[in-house]
């Protein structure tokens, strides 16, 4: 680990970043359904979904999870020193807490928990992510996300 990387890790650990709001609308939900072949009526049939306790269509949980990547990329985070590539390393924990109705806006908050050196030029970042729903108290999703930085 270089002194620059050690300083970066010390400065970033404990930092919080927040994305802008993103509209989750029916065309987005439908496109995700078509991509994943998950056409459950709760996601794609507004008439049938309106008769449920949700009162309308809701986003797929996996759609919300996949939106973490673009929400994260728009935050003003500095780049890891010597960065060549970043890889999604997976998740330690994912909870889908509340449904996101079509037409709602979401945003994500990312808390940097820490970094672990995993060999020459490899650094594992651990980050907690919370997806908020505009105007609602409970989050849509919480996750502990792992990313591997290659330098």
Per domain, the residue ranges of the chain are: 3-22+67-150
pTM score of the predicted model? 0.91
pLDDT band at 82 (very low <50, low <70, confident <90, very high): confident
Closest CA to 64 of 87, 43, 41, 39: 43
Strand segments, DSSP code E, in 13-140 are: 16-18, 22-24, 85-96, 104-117, 122-133
* Distance, CA of 146 to CA of 68 (rounded, Å): 12
- pLDDT value at residue 106: 98
Question: Domain 3-22+67-150 - what CATH class?
Answer: alpha beta
pLDDT in tens, 127-142: 999 999 999 999 999 9
- Are 107 and 131 in contact by the 8 Å Cβ rule? The answer is yes
pLDDT in tens, 35-51: 999 999 999 999 999 99
């Amino acid at each position: 680990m270089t002194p620059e990387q050690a300083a970066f890790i010390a400065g970033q650990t404990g930092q919080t970043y927040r994305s802008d709001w993103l509209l989750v609308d029916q065309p987005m939900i439908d496109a995700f359904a078509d991509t994943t072949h998950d056409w459950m009526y709760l996601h794609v049939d507004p008439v049938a979904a309106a008769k449920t306790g949700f009162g309308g269509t809701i986003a797929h949980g996996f759609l919300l999870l996949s939106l973490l990547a673009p929400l994260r990329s728009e935050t003003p985070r500095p780049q890891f020193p010597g960065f060549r590539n970043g890889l999604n390393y997976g998740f330690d924990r994912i909870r889908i807490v509340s449904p996101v109705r079509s037409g709602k806006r979401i945003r994500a908050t990312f808390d940097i928990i820490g970094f672990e050196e995993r060999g020459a030029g490899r650094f594992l970042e651990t980050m907690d992510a919370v997806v908020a729903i505009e105007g609602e108290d409970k989050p849509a999703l919480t996750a502990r996300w792992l990313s591997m930085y290659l330098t």
